[in-house]
Amino acid sequence: MWILGKHDEGIRKRRKSILELVGNTPLIELSKALPDDIKDKNIKIYAKLEGYNPGGSVKDRPATRMIVDAIREGKLTKDKIILDATSGNTGIALSMVGTALGYKVELAMPVFPEVASNIILSFVNFPSLIASTIILV
């Protein structure tokens, strides 16, 4: 497929794990973001599109790092549970990463309708998250 005259092969590349999609998000130049009164036209502003992470959030990066580091250091073993009190993206990311690596994940979240619907919709969109337990508090 061609997008704006460029091939999207890097985007369509097959991967073995959803975790291979964490990070390496696009960096986009915001050429029209500079005010007109800026004299130095060599100044460039860029934005990272963290929404391109598989969980749709910048929180995918720290969740992956925390879990991978804990495994590497021997602090997280298969007999342990990843537990988080969450109201959103960090819990979604921990659940996605933990489940992808074969760990049990339990999330405690407040019973606020807008928060609950955000997390529940994320679980529907990412079937790999269904292995996680949601505890409403």
* Stretch 78-100: mean pLDDT: 89
Arithmetic mean of pLDDT over the chain: 79
Query: Are 108 and 101 a contacting pair, CB within 8 Å?
Result: no
More confident residue, 119 or 108: 108
Q: Which residues are catalytic?
A: 59
Kindly list the structural domains of the chain, giving each domain's residue range(s) and its CATH number in brackets, ordered by start: 13-52 (no CATH), 60-136 (3.40.50.1100)
Do 103 and 133 contact (CB within 8 A), yes or no?
no
- Predicted TM-score (pTM) of the model is 0.71
Q: Give the distance from CA 123 to its chain's centroid.
A: 13
Tens of pLDDT, residues 9-68: 666 677 788 888 898 888 888 877 777 777 777 888 889 999 889 888 899 999 999 999
End-to-end CA distance of the chain: 46
Helices (H), the chain: 9-12, 60-72, 89-100, 113-125
How far apart CA 94 and CA 100 sit, in angstroms, is 10
